[in-house]
Amino acid sequence: MVSKEYLDPTFFIDSQSEIVTDLAHKLSLEKDRAKIAIATFNYVRDEIKYTIDITRYDGPEDMKASTTLQRGYGFCIPKSIALVALFRANQIPARLHFADIINHRIPAHLLKILKTNVMMFHGYVDVYLNGKWIKLTPSFETPLCERHDFPVCEFDGVKDATFQPHDNNGNRFVEYIKDRGVFGDLPYDEITSTFSKHYGYP
């Protein structure tokens, strides 16, 4: 039995909001749950553009699913929140998952800001389909991956779709170093305090 908390709306995962429910309806024209899940993942991956400029986020409201869908861009955490909200709006259980990762292909401008290639609380999604939890990473849209020779996270409705250890040229890419667990809603205070301690922001 999957916990009801993985279907319910929350402050951040506002799956009851109009912009979320309208989009979820458009993505649910297929009746097969796996096909709905694939279409939903592909939408968030490719249509919500990856942008990691955290100076654009002024507070909790900026992290809500509805805000991200309206804005049209986000980094891993808000994109994952939006994906969970769309799943829940279509009665597909989903939750947030966080891990610390090493990004061996971190861009120079981001390394200058963070002073490290360790990215804490990288956000992704667990979705429950066909009796099991599947891990999904909607962060990088397909054109971004193609520009940088990153493997595209492709979801087939069955297997995990997460960052790979090597890029398309065999270089080291992403290394998962610490699992921070799963959450029914965004642990906002824990994440912001961690970012403040390690990155000096916010």
Q: What is the pTM of this model?
A: 0.96
Residue pLDDT, tens place only, 30-43? 779 999 999 999 99
Nearest-CA neighbor of 162 among 126, 186, 196?
126
CA angle at 105 for the pair 100 and 108, rounded to the nearest 5°? 105
pLDDT at 102 over 90: yes
pLDDT(182) > 90: yes
- Cα 11 from Cα 3, distance rounded (Å): 18
Domains of the chain: residue spans and CATH: 4-8+12-196 (3.10.620)
Residue 58 has pLDDT above 90, yes or no: no
Model confidence pLDDT, tens digit, residues 137-160? 999 999 999 999 999 999 999 999
Count CB atoms within 10 A of the CB of residue 116. 14
Span 117-134, pLDDT tens digits: 999 999 999 999 999 999
Task: Provide the pLDDT for residue 1.
Answer: 72
Axis-axis angle for helices 18-26, 76-89 (nearest 10) = 70
